[in-house]
Each structure stands twice: as C-alpha cells, then as structure tokens.
A and B are shown apart, each in its own frame.
Chain A
C-alpha cells in the first residue's frame, strides 16, 4: 500500500512538472520564410532553472547511493530493477536524456581546452560523481542509474554469448569513439556523442527516422545481446571500465568463500565472470624477455603507424567543423556556374572579411593535424595493449567478476548457494 502510494505521488509530481514545462513552451507555429530557410533542429532541451539542475544532481547522488546499497549490502537484483525503472522515467523520459554522464565527457573536454567556455556545474557533477562512486564501489552507476544502460538492460530476455574474439574486436570501438568525441569537443567542432545518441530521440519522442531506426535496432539487439551500446560504443563506459579496475569495494559473486560449485559460471549475460586459472609453470626467463622486447617494439610501432594515419586523415576529420566547411565552400565557389548556398549568403551578409574566415579555418585544420596524430597514436596504443593482454597470465582461485567489464547488474548473485 505504502509502495503504491509513493509511486503514485511520484507520478503526479512528474506529470505536474511536465505541465509547468509545457506551459512555457512555444505554442504558436514557427514562422515559415519564403527564402527556403529551414528552422534549425534544437539539439538540446530548453535550459532549465538552476534549481532543476541542482535537483538533478541531488537525485543522481540519492539514486547512486540507493543502488550501491542494494547491490553491495542487500545483494538485491529486484532493487536494481526498481532503480533502473526510476532512472528510465526520470533521467530518460522526464529529463529527456540531458544532462547525461555519457555526453558530459564532451563538456569537460571542451572546458579543459577552451578557457572561455564555462561548463554548467550539473554537467561537471554528472561527469565526476559516477566516476568517484565507481572508484569505490565499481560500476554501480551503469547497473541502473544511467538511463541508456538501464533501458537496454530491461530489454534483455534471451542472452546469447558472443565469441571472445568478436567481443575483443568490437570492444575497441568505444575507444575510437571516445578518441573522436574528445577530438571534436576539444576543437569545439561538435558534440558527436549527443548527436548520435541512439536513445535520446526515443526519450524525447522527437527522433528523426534514421535515429529512431538506430535506437530501435539497439533495443531489439538488446533482447539477445546484453547492453550492446554499453559494451561496444559507450565512450564514458571506457572511463568507468578503467576506473572500476581499481575500485575498493567491488561486488563479489559470493558473500563468503567460493566453493567452486560452478553454478554462477554461465550466469553473466555480459560474459564478465573470470573463471579460476590453474597455477602455471613459470615461463622461462629467455622467452619472457623475448616477449617483453617484442611487445615494447610492437606498441610504439603501432602508435607511430596510427598517428601517421590519423594525421593523414586530418583534413577529412576537419570537414565536420562548420567553419572549415564554409571556408572550403567559399574557396571552391564559382559565382558564374553555382548558386550561393544559404551558408555563403549568411556569411556575406555578416560583413566579415573572407581572409579572416580562411585564417580561422586554417588554424582549426592545424589543430586537427595534431589531434589526428594524438588520436591515431591513442588507437595504436589501445590495439597494442589489447594484443599484449592476450598473452597476459593472471592466476585466479575463485569465480569473480571482471571488475572492468562487470556493470554490477547483480544477476549472478542469486546463482551463488553460499550463505553469508
């Protein structure tokens, strides 16, 4: 009874607030110009009052604390599911997927590289708080607070396990995506994570057909493959994965000592359970030295090749920048044979000298050149480390979650017959 009362009050609260927001929205159709001007699509919801931003941060802290308690103290999957549903409703549908931790990576990068940009405090909080929690408790944020992860998780019904090599190969994509989003945010070009967020259009009921199709495809895949976006795309997941490896109190499958009953062995839909590894004979010194030398040559070589390739593509990468695109268009514009685009027309009416535009564009292209080197070297490093990880040996006695990949969903806990 109490539970349903609380739920209904919460629902009334949400709906009430939505009405307040609705009443402030534009109620008249946007003007249509005969010039062919198309109204730009708003890429983020109308900014909210500072109080709402504070409320979001408070809700984030409360929900994170609650789910961490459910996972580590209560060891309750039901609690995780309840919090997931709340997060989908609040951070997803009610807050329209913005501000979100995944996208906040870009705000932080933009602020770090552009001193003139003042980062909204809520974006900073959404970036830092989940990372801080992960440092201590593992990825409890992913378990059910992140609306993107939660919405995929509730769709999972018939999990299938992917081949290890395929998981490893697809697992490189988030690193590339992270590198690209950092490059585009650092050069103040675009927030690609937000632009290509597959779920945000669904949360806002305003997705273009293309983005809706991608979002729907992700949800359909989620029925069989656990959290495809989290595992094979999410750039913030890369950071959480790395941070979680050093977490202090990560969830354990057994509340006490592992009795090696193997009941949990296949319980993880993300394939994030490490199996015991038998003691290996010590590798002889010569072959260990050879392996070390080989790796220390391969990794820098991959970084150089990657960097060189990235730098070679810098002009293509830079074309995403609107200023570079405009400068390029202006440069190739022939007034006799071509019709002026709206962008060129707009630029001409601004009265800015075209030389200044070229100078600014050249500066951005130069940034992309260095950025291309760094991005390529980073990807080379990731591939090199992934290769070296294949030959790494780690002794393990018990069944334990892989701290980096485990999203603390608490599914495996109920498989363990050991009592506290």
Chain B
C-alpha cells in the first residue's frame, strides 16, 4: 500500500510528465504548422542549412547578394 506522501509524489510526477509532453507537442506542432517563418540562428545566414528554403527578408536579401 502506498502512503500519502508517495501518492502525492506519483501524482506530481504524472503532472510534470504530462506538462512536458504537452509543451513539447505544442512547440513541435507550431514549428511545422504555422505559416510564419522565423530564424534559428540570429540571422547568420552564412552557413545556415535552411537558407535555400528561407523566406525571411534577411535570408532573401542574403541569397540575392550572393
């Protein structure tokens, strides 16, 4: 039989795990779902492996200047 403290711990653990899963899911979905684009690398376009597909003004400008 589990005591009250153990019960609370289990509940809290489940809650934390659930929150981590929900947060990760939301952020991942947003990465793939949204129309808007954003930069991962502080606009260091040189060497960025997403440059080819980048639609951000900085990326477009960098591609044009090459």
Set of chain B residues within 8 Å of A243, measured between Cβ atoms: 16
Set of chain A residues within 8 Å of B48, measured between Cβ atoms: 47
Which of the 9-residue segments A110-118, A325-333, A362-370 touches chain B?
A: A110-118
User: Contact mask A124-158 → B, CB, 8 Å, 1/0?
Assistant: 10001001100100000000000000000000000
Set of chain B residues within 8 Å of A135, measured between Cβ atoms: 13, 16-17
The residue that A46 contacts in the complex, of B16, B31, B44, with Cβ under 8 A, is B44
The residue that A115 contacts in the complex, of B12, B20, B30, with Cβ under 8 A, is B30
Known contacts: A132-B17, A135-B16. The answer to whether A111 contacts B44 by CB under 8 A is no
B55 to chain A, nearest CB (A): 12
A135 to B41: give the CA distance in the assembly, Å: 31
Contact of B64 with A by CB under 8 A: no
A108 to B49: give the CA distance in the assembly, Å: 21
Closest partner residue, chain B, to A243 (CB atom): B16
Contact of A172 with B by CB under 8 A: no
Set of chain B residues within 8 Å of A43, measured between Cβ atoms: 42
A325 to B34: give the CA distance in the assembly, Å: 32
Interface residues of B in 15-66 (CB under 8 A from A): 16-17, 20, 23-24, 27-28, 30-31, 34, 36-38, 40-42, 44, 46-49
Contact B47 A124 (CB under 8 A): no
Contact of B9 with A by CB under 8 A: yes
A372 to chain B, nearest CB (A): 25
Set of chain B residues within 8 Å of A119, measured between Cβ atoms: 27, 31
Contact A128 B40 (CB under 8 A): no
Contact A24 B47 (CB under 8 A): yes
Set of chain B residues within 8 Å of A42, measured between Cβ atoms: 44
A50 to B48: give the CA distance in the assembly, Å: 10
Closest partner residue, chain A, to B13 (CB atom): A246
Contact A128 B31 (CB under 8 A): no
Set of chain A residues within 8 Å of B47, measured between Cβ atoms: 24, 46-47
A29 to chain B, nearest CB (A): 16
Contact A124 B24 (CB under 8 A): yes
Contact of A17 with B by CB under 8 A: no
User: Contact mask A25-53 → B, CB, 8 Å, 1/0?
Assistant: 00000000000000000111011111000
A92 to B49: give the CA distance in the assembly, Å: 23
A184 to chain B, nearest CB (A): 15
Contact B31 A47 (CB under 8 A): no
Contact A118 B30 (CB under 8 A): yes
Contact of A396 with B by CB under 8 A: no
Closest partner residue, chain B, to A52 (CB atom): B49
The residue that A50 contacts in the complex, of B36, B38, B49, with Cβ under 8 A, is B49
Set of chain B residues within 8 Å of A108, measured between Cβ atoms: 23, 27
A266 to B25: give the CA distance in the assembly, Å: 44
Set of chain B residues within 8 Å of A128, measured between Cβ atoms: 20, 23-24
Known contacts: A44-B42, A124-B24, A124-B27. The answer to whether A246 contacts B36 by CB under 8 A is no
Contact B31 A118 (CB under 8 A): yes
Contact B13 A124 (CB under 8 A): no
The residue that B41 contacts in the complex, of A44, A49, A124, A131, with Cβ under 8 A, is A44
B44 to chain A, nearest CB (A): 7
A128 to B16: give the CA distance in the assembly, Å: 11
Set of chain A residues within 8 Å of B24, measured between Cβ atoms: 124, 128
Closest partner residue, chain B, to A111 (CB atom): B27
Contact B36 A116 (CB under 8 A): yes
Contact B40 A246 (CB under 8 A): no
User: Contact mask A252-290 → B, CB, 8 Å, 1/0?
Assistant: 000000000000000000000000000000000000000
A74 to chain B, nearest CB (A): 25
Known contacts: A115-B30, A118-B31. The answer to whether A246 contacts B12 by CB under 8 A is yes
Contact B28 A124 (CB under 8 A): yes
Closest partner residue, chain B, to A114 (CB atom): B38
Q: Which residues of A contact B (CB under 8 A)?
A: 24, 42-44, 46-50, 108, 111-112, 115-121, 124, 128, 131-132, 135, 243, 246-248
Sample of 9 A–B contacts (CB below 8 Å): A43-B42, A46-B44, A47-B40, A48-B49, A108-B23, A118-B37, A128-B23, A128-B24, A243-B16
Known: A47-B41, A124-B28, A128-B20. 4 other contacts (CB 8 A): A43-B42, A46-B47, A116-B36, A128-B23
